[in-house]
Structure 1
Amino acid sequence: MSTEPESREDTADAVEAEPGTPGAEAEAQEARAQETAADDAGAATPAGRTGEPGGEAAGGQVSEAEAELAAQRIERERIERRKAEKHGPISSGGKLSGTAAELLAAVRAVESGEKPAAAVFGESRPAPRRPAPEPVRQPQPVPARPAGAPAGPAPETVQAVRRVLAEGGAPEALAPQAAALLGEGADASLRADPWQLLRITGVRPEQADGFARALLGAECGPDDERRGRAVTVWLLEQAALSGHTALELPRLATALSQRGVPDPDAAVQSTLAEGEALVFQDALDEPAAQGAVHGAGADGQEAEEGDEQRPVRVLVGLERYALAEESLADALARLINSVPKQDGSAEDWERAATSAQGSAADLIRAVAGHGLVLHTGQEASLAEPAALLRAAHGLGLRAWAATHGPIGRDRFARLLGGPSSAASPDSPAPDGPAGPAVATVAGLLAGGEGPGRDADGALDLDLLVVLDAPQLDVETAALLAESLPDGARLVLAGDPAVLWSVGPGRVFGDLLAARICPQVASRRPDPGPLGELVSGIGAGELLQVEAPGKEVVIVPVRDAGEAVHRTVQLVADSVPRAIGVPAEETQVITPGHGGAAGTRALNAALKERLNPGPGRFGGFDPGDRVAYSPVPGRTLPGRVVKADADGLHLSCAGEAVVVPKERVERSVRHGWALTAHQAVGCRWPAVVVVLPGDAAQALSRPWVYTAFGRADRHLSVVHGVEQALPRAVAEVPAKPRTTRLPVLLAPQVPAAG
């Protein structure tokens, strides 16, 4: 199967891949650089009939995207400063003390059964965490580029790097990125350590090895300490592409061996000593793990000693994700343990709850007395956060909602009743078509949307409701939580059955499992045959639903070529004629970009039918539907308006976006067909899900649930994999992710009651 991973979750896990499969790494890097990547897919019949039916979003300006990146850079600099202030091991989460070599020796002693864990690690529970310092907040949104700041690396630096790359046989096109990553003196850095080439997106270990051999000659060897460090960091980055914020030490050592590192222990030790990764011990509660950690003798005596202790898990992670998880845990603890602002009396809140119905009333009551509340449900359950916002505005709170993308933002604004009903006397109206009190998460953090920030740099609000919460990666969640003022309330709402975030972490799922705050489950199911079908998928069953209005239609195909042909026929003719949904309101979803029926092939066929043209500007013509990724992890559906010397002009739900010519190739794709990760957070009147036969291995329950759940009125399934679809729904759950957030949140359980 020709595949490209759709997301970090679905990326071929580099730490488990065989050494001879370079394609997985290259595709994983593309997934990170371009929002998401995916493959072809297959399906079997879910429900409805066989045959044909009857026979977009606001995007930020480029400057906004740059402002978001600049804001994230400032935040990461703050985290760097915080790390530098810590003299000694990180106490939060229990970073092991002592030298890296001592740690590794201790771990090996425990794993071999030579010593019990208690003798090596002492206390088996994590060391107590220090209170986190108050975040240094920016009073105003960060400008897209500070005045006088250079636009990029100096031309002479790029030219020097280009000469080194040419000497080592590497593509000279990598020079600008290498110069930007390594800074001034990048050419000397590459000569001193050629394996730093692995820091560049898309470069694989075997390619960096060839570059190193060309530069170092006989001095180059697989046991080179520099190579061990570079491959260790690269494997941790690949793990992040699959959603992990850290890796268990034995798993990392195995992956290093598969990559030809002769001494994995020494490679990890060197990486830790250089500060390129951090190591942690996390105490676990599972009794079943005790025998594995402590070792059990034949007489069971040692196991009996282990019964008095808790097992320990040793993890290695990149600093940025480790500190982001710590920052998130500290910020959430601050919200949980601080008293919410007294906005309205208890009687006022109860009166608002009484006027609501069902679980909406439960949500209002929970928010009245708690700083953090979780809300779960499907699309219909959005009426409950809407009722909460209306009640909060009625009580005089500065209340805002934030969604994953602009399509979701505009849908929720309409659910609130339009611009007039969303405003409150204390809530300033944001700019843009979405209406008051609703923003995107990216726009809120960048300062282009939302209430702005107060004098202390915190978001100027009393209540924030974050919809599409499963899409929050750990870094974004940390930025949001740290941006909230003391006494503010945070509600995280979403459907836990959809695909998880593109970025690393499993924030919403970890919080649900931790049970550190009130959780309100909606009792409002999605209506109709589509709601019944999607609800069954969430429960692991592919139901046969009655669809008298052709809400669900199955179109069997024999091969990928027929799948493309039938998809074009559905979008251009059958769905508009039989269902009444025009082609511009019908979205095609397929499991991946590559292959004979991936997004590339489908978009080429749909463009030829719906908007033929020569593609004069990077393959695009006015009228083309596109998917624009201003930063990795975000996709804005839009349409091409024109192209000129300034770049490609797009309209994303009525907002103008100009993409510079040099960024078009890596940030703009045609958008008639998307992957499920690109489509998450959005819904369309009609959706055509294409499941070609060579993508059976790409299917999972969350993928099918997400793809089928994007349809409002009509779903056509172009399927050609026989029983792969029901098998995926019943047997293939989400891939697990390794995170430290549950351990960091554990001390908050008693405080939350």
Structure 2
Amino acid sequence: MTASGAEDPDDARGGTARDTPRTAAGEASRSGDANETGGAAGAGAAGRADKAAELMAAVRAVESGERSAAEFFAEPKPAPRRPAPARPAPAPGARPAPAGPVAVPAGVTALLAGGGAPEALGEGAVEVLGEGAEEVLRADPWQLLAVPGVRPEQADGFARALLGAECGPGDERRTRALAVWLLERAARAGHTVLPLEALVRELARHTVPDPEEAVREAVDSGAVLAFEDTGNTENTGNTGDAGRSGGGDAGEEGDERPVRLLLGLDRHALAEESLAEGLARLAGTFAAPGGEEAERWEAAAAAAPVPSAAELVRASARSALVVHTGAEAARAEPAALVAAARSLGLRAYAAAHGEDGRRRLAELLGNGDGGDPAAVTVDGLLTGQEGPGRDEEGAYALDLLAVLDAPQLDTERAAALVEAMPDGARLVLSGDPHLLGSAGPGQVAADLAAARFCPQVVSRTPDPGPIGELVSGVGIGELGEVEAPGREVVIVPVRDAGEAVHRTVQLVADSVPRAIGVPAERTQVITPGHGGAVGTRVLNAALKERLNPGPGRFGGFDPGDRVVHSPAPGRAAFGTVVSADAEGLHLECAGRRVTVPRERVARAVRHGWAVTAHQAVGTRWPAVVVVLPGDAVPALDRAWVYTAFGRGERHLSVVHGVGPALPKAVAEVPARQRTTRLRALLRAQAAVREPGAAD
């Protein structure tokens, strides 16, 4: 990648740790390697069928067989942090943090101490397991794995301390908890289910002596759900044909489609099934306009500002569901649709991923101050704090909803959104498919498009300028040269981690404000990881020292510090520290005052001069500095580069220490596929609607 304004010819290495979400994604992706073939390596179709038959028999069994105790186990390798309990979550968008500190009973504290576990886990144990946490942990010490941050080897040590000789690697309590933990870890990487062979392999890696029996027991106990997938492997997010049957229609005599078992947790299964049913309900209750109304829609389409917007208006006139894809400039097209629908007297709204997206959307709708009530955030709509409100039946009082940034919509939030859509309403999912996906499990927009369940409109509106040209190339796997006469794109080669930190601070504090005219407070640094020599922690410390030095007297923060507030996993609100008192840390986020309770600050607030690309999705800044130190290579793929480079509106600086690994990542490392069931569920719904319809 080259651009005018490149400063130094040298190209060397930096240092950082991989982004925590990317690490989790990588490990869970490895646990799902079998997705590529639809079966374990080297296993034949007969072996897969035998395993499938055995497990399905186990699912139907009333009782699982007795199993002998095994010898004491070797501790497994550390696994990534577990972010969520293995119990059904409340409705998405309505997950407030505890208002105050959780009272930890003395019995829980004593039990943890007796098992060699830190007392600090007490609060998490009570939050996850409830007031009876002590009784739960005494009966099943491996339930400690449900506490965020606990790894399998830590839970094993706790169980050994409590159970002594009764503790073994094949204990059903252990294997059941491990199965749930592995599925939760996979969910953090975006998967809603895992293939049977992938879960079996991961259990074996954690020294489970009979992993297939462990899966059967977990399914029979109800801790894990099993799904029979006789469709194509592409239903689980794959692109290959290894799981497809030969010619002939499904169900045709002699057509043997391979049986494939998928394992998941009830919260994700219920969300996907609810979402598929809700989408089918919208399609089934919609009536396309005719006569004079159809003519009015056609007139609105003819008045659209660009051809792609006209195509979107026409598609939305005829269908309850539409998928619209495009880059940043294409956001004007769903905005034009909402404006057109409102001109026809419809109650039309548009929802963006975050506050910055909502502000930009409101500007596109014609309200210069970003306050247009038709522009809302997805979370604001789900919680009822924004949008049209609900009617007497609990449905949104609207006729059309366009959801921008749709790739950031996970399955649970999408299910909650669709559930509240009234019969006969129109839903448009719009977004850039090249961006990093949702923080939660699922790939709703991609599955809806792949299922061919509804019309699709692909924008032909390109992003302007050198940054738009560069990012468009990345989207198709090319990292080419761009002309940047106004220094819109600048490459800054660095040799090591120390130089990377120095040049980053220099760019934010001096070079970008002086040469580009963007002040430091409007310039955002993006790096692949939180840890390491050039991670967000190191960069934020260096940037704070230069831009807002202070003792950090409010839990490490001072007034004026830039921060990221994460009220829930996967949510990121950018703001500034205002003050602090006994109630907590007071922030200003997008013009709104937010108070973070003192006991939540350490978990929910980070300094925000430097963030990861996952945190930056859905937000843009006038200037962005992307830092790529040498050991960032494992974190890089096309989606990461596309997302990071595309966050800058006027200027992009790249602190470049990865050498040829950058173009290689863009050309050869596409985003990892997610394993889901939604695609197959939608096709099943389509078959019910139109019996005999082909894929």
1:401 aligns with 2:350: yes
**C-alpha separation between the residues in 2 aligned to 1:593 and 1:116?**
41
Partner amino acid, structure 2, of 1:404: H
Partner of 1:680 in structure 2? 617
Q: CA deviation at 1:224?
A: 1.0
Which of 183, 191, 197 lines up with 1:250 in the alignment?
A: 197
1:234 and 1:119 map into 2 onto residues whose CA distance is 23
Provide the residue aligned with 2:184 in structure 1: 237
Indicate yes or no: 2:303 matched with 1:348.
no
Corresponding residue for residue 92 of structure 1: none
Amino acid at match of 2:567: P
Corresponding residue for 1:427? none
SS of match in other structure, 2:282? helix
* Distance in 2 separating the partners of 1:637 and 1:590: 16
| 1:7 to partner: Cα distance | 2.1
Q: Of 552, 561, 582, which residue of structure 1 is paired with 2:519? A: 582
1:375 is aligned to 2:324: yes
**Does structure 2 retain, via aligned residues, the 8 Å contact 1:9–1:243?**
no
The root-mean-square deviation of aligned C-alpha atoms, in Å, is 3.0
Does structure 1 conserve the Cα–Cα contact (< 8 Å) formed by 2:96 and 2:567?
A: no
Aligned with residue 424 of structure 2, among 487, 491, 512: 487
Match of 2:274 among 308, 311, 327: 327
Instruction: Give the distance between the partners of 2:603 and 2:488, measured in 1 at CA.
Output: 36
Contact 2:276 / 2:682 at 8 angstroms: preserved in 1?
A: yes
What is the TM-score when the length of structure 2 is the normalising length? 0.85
- SS of the residue corresponding to residue 407 of structure 1 reads helix
Matches within 5 A, 1:582-601: 582-601=519-538
TM-score relative to the length of structure 1: 0.78
Which stretches in structure 1 are left out of the alignment for 5+ residues?
A: 19-107, 123-137, 297-304, 421-432
**Cα 1:306–1:255 shift into 2, 3 Å:** farther
**In 2, Cα distance between the equivalents of 1:584 and 1:482?**
40
Distance 1:290 1:534, change over 3 A: closer
Asked whether 1:3 is paired with 2:3, we answer no
Q: Which residue of structure 2 aligns with residue 697 of structure 1?
A: 634
Distance, in Å, in 2 between the alignment partners of 1:119 and 1:260 is 22
Contact 1:290 1:307 in 2 (8 A): no
Q: What is the match of residue 78 of structure 1?
A: none
Deviation at 1:15, TM superposition (A): 7.4
1:178-193 aligned within 5 A: 178-193=125-140
- The DSSP-based 3-state class of the residue aligned with 1:688 is strand
1:87 paired residue number: none
Count of residue correspondences = 623
Could you tell me how far 1:158 is from its partner in structure 2? 2.5
Q: Secondary structure at the residue paired with 2:599?
A: helix
1:375–1:522 Cα contact (<8 Å) kept: yes
Give the corresponding residue for 1:415: 364
* Distance of aligned partners of 1:120 and 1:321 in 2 relative to their CA distance in 1, 3 Å threshold: closer
Superposed, which structure 2 residues align to 1:357-372 within 5 Å?
357-372=306-321
Is the Cα–Cα contact under 8 Å of residues 118 and 309 in structure 1 kept in the other structure? no
> What residue in structure 2 maps to residue 566 of structure 1?
503
Partner SS, residue 230 of structure 1: helix
The more displaced of 6-15 and 176-185 is 6-15
How far off its partner does 1:514 sit?
1.2
Q: What is the rounded CA distance, in whole Å, between the counterparts of 2:258 and 2:278 in structure 1?
A: 28
Equivalent residue for 1:513, pick from 430, 442, 450: 450
Distance 1:189 1:381, change over 3 A: same
Question: Is residue 541–residue 730 contact of structure 1 (8 Å, CA) maintained in 2?
Answer: yes
Q: CA deviation at 1:459?
A: 1.0
The letter for the 2-side match of 1:416 is L
Which of the residues 638, 660, 667 maps onto 2:604? 667
Counterpart of 2:396 in structure 1 is: 459
In the alignment, is the contact (CA less than 8 A) between 1:335 and 1:486 conserved in 2? yes
* Alignment pair present for 1:278 and 2:215: no
Question: Per-residue displacement from partner, 1:259-278 (whole Å, max 9, x unpaired)?
Answer: 01001122112211221110
- SS of 1:490 mapped into structure 2: strand
Conserved? CA contact 2:584–2:598, under 8 Å: yes
| 8 Å CA contact 1:353, 1:365 repeated in 2 | yes
Contact 2:18 2:528 in 1 (8 A): no
Cα pair 2:21 2:614 within 8 Å, conserved:
yes
CA distance in 1, matches of 2:628, 2:456: 35
2:641, 2:379 → 1: CA distance? Answer: 26
Confirm whether residue 316 of structure 1 aligns to residue 253 of structure 2: no
1:161 to 2:108 alignment: yes
* Structure 2 SS opposite 1:268: helix
Identity of aligned residues (%): 63
CA contact (8 A) 1:642 1:649 kept: yes
Alpha-carbon deviation of 1:565?
0.3
Q: Tell me which residue corresponds to 1:499.
A: 436
Do structure 1's residue 214 and structure 2's residue 149 form an aligned pair? no
* Distance (whole Å) between structure 1 residues aligned to residue 509 and residue 128 of structure 2: 45
Deviations 1:335-377 (CA, angstroms, capped at 9, x unpaired): 1222248697011101101111301111001111111001110
Q: Which has the higher contact order (CA 8 A, sep 6+)?
A: 1
Deviation, structure 1 residue 223: 1.5
Counterparts of 1:184 and 1:570, CA distance in 2 = 51
Instruction: Say if 1:419 and 1:547 are closer, same or farther in 2 by CA, change over 3 A.
Output: closer
Aligned-partner Cα distance in 1 for 2:100–2:579? 26
